[in-house]
Homo-oligomer: A and B are copies of this chain.
Amino acid sequence: MHLAKITNLLLFAFTFATPLFIQAQAQAQIQQEHPNLIMTKAGVEKLRQNLGKVPLFDKSLQSVKQQVDAEIALGIDTPIPKDFSGGYTHQRHKLNFQVAQKAGELYQILQDDKYAKYIRDMLFQYEAMYQDLPVHPQTRSYARGKLFWQCLNDSNWLVYMSQAYDAIYDTLSVEERAKLENNLFRPFADFISIGNPQFYNRIHNHSTWGNAAVGMIALVMNDEELLQRALYGIEDDGLELDLKDNDGGFIKVAGQKAGFLANLEEPFSPDGYFTEGPYYQRYAMYPFLIFGLAAHHVKPELQVFEHKDNVLLKAVDALLNLTDADGKFFPLNDGQKGMSYYSPELVTAVDIAYHYGSQDPKLLSIVEKQALVLLNESGLSAAIGVRDGKTQPFAKKSINLSDGPDGKQGGVAILRYGNEDLSLVFKYAAQGLSHGHYDKLSYSLYNKGDEVLQDYGLARFVNIEQKGGGNYLSENKTWAKQTIAHNTLTQNETSHFNGEYETASQYHSDLYLYDDSNKDLQVVSATESNAYPGTAMHRTMAMIKPKNFEKPFVLDILKVSSQTKHQYDLPFYFMGQVMKMNFTYDSPSSLSPLGKDQGYQHLYVEGKGKPSDNTTQFSWLGNGTFYTLTTATDSNDELLLTRLGANDPEFNLRRDAALMIRRKNAGDTVFASVVEPHGSYNLVSELSVNSNSSIKELQVVHDDANYTAIAIKDVKGTTSLFVLANKANSTTQQHKLKINGKYYQWTGAYHFTDS
């Protein structure tokens, strides 16, 4: 059934059903004290007592006060909804709920009636308009909201406004509350839930927001029916199984649970990794933690924070670990680059995790960087920790995060060297729901906060009206999600799972081994056998600091096995200025696209060559560091220098470059490469240091079903050897292998020797 059709049908059904739900407010309410949601009476007392005593808290209070006072001076505007996310009406309604939530905090802390009045006036303006408000005029969403173009944003509104309402609850008369609850909050909660089950009843960050919104207002209003709906979803949602949303994600699969607790159960792995990736984890953390905290206060018996072995608090730690040295999230799957732990959601997450977790002093170093705390008990607690000098550095280490509800659907490994001097992000995860990319066994590489080999991220300019209304651009699908947009293997110019979400969602890669016990020799290895039926991929990434090298390098072994012949393309999306290469190539006088679809239509070919040697080298300079890719090539390989930007009439894509190894007519093969940072260049001293690779030769010296061995010879003649047992990942098994006439013996799945 077509989505727009079912949406209309649901809306139709809802229109008639509405009066019934509104009447549900008649049920008995037990008197509660307010605020009780995020702030509590006792907590507020503590905040007031500490005013002027905790610098970071005071500074945060002043900053919020300044912003809210400026908004109050501007006056309240609740325009008729009209725009997409970049437009005025969207921005205004968004700012309204954000400012109202903050005004609520200020009212509680400063006891200045102007803040209560501001919220009350705003709420009654919404109350006056809401009942007659049609669904939003923009039709793109599978679940259109009323204030916003999608229910997701309406849910944001309710999550924040619930807090504002809670803050001024005691200042309102019984009649005023009844008016707000009957005309605004209950119909609002019903609309985003029963009115839009295709939005509300999923396992998806959208639903998390919806569930939290309904749950938050339920807790303020003490409405048990809404609370049950928040926690467990809508029992009979009437949704069919073949529906998809406008991002292409499934709305319902067989046996699917719903509601907040199911959303907490499903997308988080036991390690706290969120299957959509860090960008969306950041977005989803807010409703998870805020509703978790509200439940902690009002319904402690639900034990939301303790759910699934404290997964919510673990998730904060996982999320912080999914950042580069500057705190920017790795853009796995759909992720806008630049988003970081400086975002308001992470201020919330870190403060709450500090206070309600184990008061981990390492979190305080993030708090110090954020230089802002929440205006509630957790923020005060963090600010006191900072004031009292408890801060310890949050030194990120290598980490392996499992994916899947049970932690058995692959994962993401991050190998780090030193003080994040080199960070490798290796993805062997599940599809990641509708925001997933088709990039099994792909990786990206960072030098501190600089990308060395990039993950493209998403093709979208979030909230920028001029670029497709701030929504996903068509290039997200035609480029960003495609396999060729990533540093992994594309077979026969076709994306993994043929780019089919239904298929991709059934599979995940599998961990072969992970070992970060020796900082100078860290290894992660994973396999993928479903992306291309009949073709098995086994990729092993090692971060190695050999004695004879200035800096660590990354060894990348991609073993491909197939009984039939294919064309394999392996790109390296290097970031920086091309320095030199040891192969020759033709430069076309005009640029044409490399292919017709699956992302290839967006790539120009700026150069096409052949290896001049069995060891191909390619160097670039990125932000003051030289890098060399050294890779074992076959004389029949093609070397393509590509540039993004073909078939991009609206300039939605960046003009980024790659070196691509194309191996034609190959069945079983190994791509073995080293990515090596070396030396430096400084634009002020103009001094170029160690600008040449230390590697002379890289060879696959052994490859069969059981073992693959790579020899790396440096410029001074020393040869290192890395051997992997392809089929025995036990750490205790003993191996013996003869390579070039010499016997090697070792214990465990891999062996490295650099002398």
Q: Which A residues form the contact surface with B (CB < 8 A)?
A: 86, 91, 336-340, 342-344, 461-467, 470, 577-580, 587, 589-593, 604, 606-607, 619, 621, 641, 643, 645-651, 654-655, 657, 681, 683-689, 691-692
Chain B residues with CB below 8 A from A340, complex form: 683-684
* Contacts A651-B577, A685-B344 given; does A593 touch B587 at CB 8 Å: no
Shortest C-beta distance, A619 to chain B (Å), equals 7
CA distance A374 to B591 in the complex (A): 52
Shortest C-beta distance, A656 to chain B (Å), equals 9
Say whether A684 contacts B621, CB under 8 Å. no
Say whether A339 contacts B686, CB under 8 Å. yes
Shortest C-beta distance, A431 to chain B (Å), equals 25
CA distance A577 to B461 in the complex (A): 10
Say whether A580 contacts B336, CB under 8 Å. no
When C-beta atoms are compared, the residue in chain B nearest to A94 turns out to be B687
Say whether A592 contacts B593, CB under 8 Å. no
Shortest C-beta distance, A132 to chain B (Å), equals 29
Q: Lowest 7 CB-CB distances: which A-B pairs, in order?
A: A338-B683, A578-B651, A587-B649, A591-B591, A590-B592, A466-B579, A466-B580
CA distance A112 to B687 in the complex (A): 29
Chain B residues with CB below 8 A from A692, complex form: 466
Chain B residues with CB below 8 A from A466, complex form: 579-580, 619, 691-692
Say whether A342 contacts B684, CB under 8 Å. yes
Beyond A587-B647, A589-B647, 7 additional pairs, beta carbon < 8 A: A336-B683, A337-B683, A461-B621, A462-B686, A463-B686, A463-B688, A590-B592
Say whether A343 contacts B465, CB under 8 Å. no
Say whether B336 contacts A465, CB under 8 Å. no
Chain B residues with CB below 8 A from A342, complex form: 684
CA distance A223 to B349 in the complex (A): 73
CA distance A645 to B657 in the complex (A): 12
Chain B residues with CB below 8 A from A589, complex form: 592-593, 646-647
Say whether A86 contacts B590, CB under 8 Å. no
Q: This chain: how many copies in the complex? A: 2
Say whether B593 contacts A593, CB under 8 Å. no
CA distance A619 to B684 in the complex (A): 33
CA distance A339 to B681 in the complex (A): 12
Shortest C-beta distance, A319 to chain B (Å), equals 15
Residue among A337, A647, A650, A688 with most chain B CB within 10 A: A688
Chain B residues with CB below 8 A from A683, complex form: 336-340
Say whether B645 contacts A606, CB under 8 Å. yes
CA distance A343 to B682 in the complex (A): 10
Chain B residues with CB below 8 A from A650, complex form: 578
* Contacts A465-B691, A655-B655, A691-B465 given; does A684 touch B343 at CB 8 Å: yes
Give which listed residue, B648, B649, B687, contacts A91 with CB less than 8 A. Answer: B687
Chain B residues with CB below 8 A from A587, complex form: 647-649
When C-beta atoms are compared, the residue in chain B nearest to A620 turns out to be B651
Chain B residues with CB below 8 A from A577, complex form: 461, 651, 654
Chain B residues with CB below 8 A from A593, complex form: 589-590
* Contacts A464-B621, A579-B467 given; does A86 touch B688 at CB 8 Å: yes
Shortest C-beta distance, A60 to chain B (Å), equals 16
CA distance A340 to B683 in the complex (A): 9
Shortest C-beta distance, A326 to chain B (Å), equals 11
CA distance A271 to B591 in the complex (A): 48
CA distance A478 to B655 in the complex (A): 23
CA distance A412 to B621 in the complex (A): 33
When C-beta atoms are compared, the residue in chain B nearest to A651 turns out to be B578
Give which listed residue, B336, B337, B591, contacts A604 with CB less than 8 A. Answer: B591
Say whether B470 contacts A688, CB under 8 Å. yes
Chain B residues with CB below 8 A from A689, complex form: 91
> Can you name 24 A-B pairs with beta carbons within 8 Å?
A91-B687, A337-B683, A338-B683, A339-B684, A339-B686, A340-B683, A340-B684, A461-B577, A461-B621, A462-B686, A463-B681, A463-B687, A464-B621, A466-B580, A466-B692, A467-B579, A578-B651, A587-B647, A589-B592, A589-B647, A590-B591, A590-B593, A606-B651, A643-B645
Shortest C-beta distance, A687 to chain B (Å), equals 7
Shortest C-beta distance, A320 to chain B (Å), equals 15
CA distance A463 to B339 in the complex (A): 36
CA distance A621 to B317 in the complex (A): 34
Give which listed residue, B464, B643, B649, contacts A688 with CB less than 8 A. Answer: B464
Chain B residues with CB below 8 A from A681, complex form: 463-464
Shortest C-beta distance, A461 to chain B (Å), equals 8
Shortest C-beta distance, A435 to chain B (Å), equals 16
* Contacts A344-B685, A591-B590, A684-B338 given; does A464 touch B579 at CB 8 Å: yes
Shortest C-beta distance, A75 to chain B (Å), equals 18
CA distance A721 to B561 in the complex (A): 72
Chain B residues with CB below 8 A from A606, complex form: 645, 651
Say whether A464 contacts B691, CB under 8 Å. yes
Chain B residues with CB below 8 A from A578, complex form: 650-651
Say whether A91 contacts B688, CB under 8 Å. yes
CA distance A462 to B578 in the complex (A): 15
CA distance A590 to B590 in the complex (A): 7
When C-beta atoms are compared, the residue in chain B nearest to A648 turns out to be B587
CA distance A593 to B657 in the complex (A): 19
CA distance A634 to B348 in the complex (A): 54
Chain B residues with CB below 8 A from A648, complex form: 587
Residue among A463, A470, A650, A686 with most chain B CB within 10 A: A686
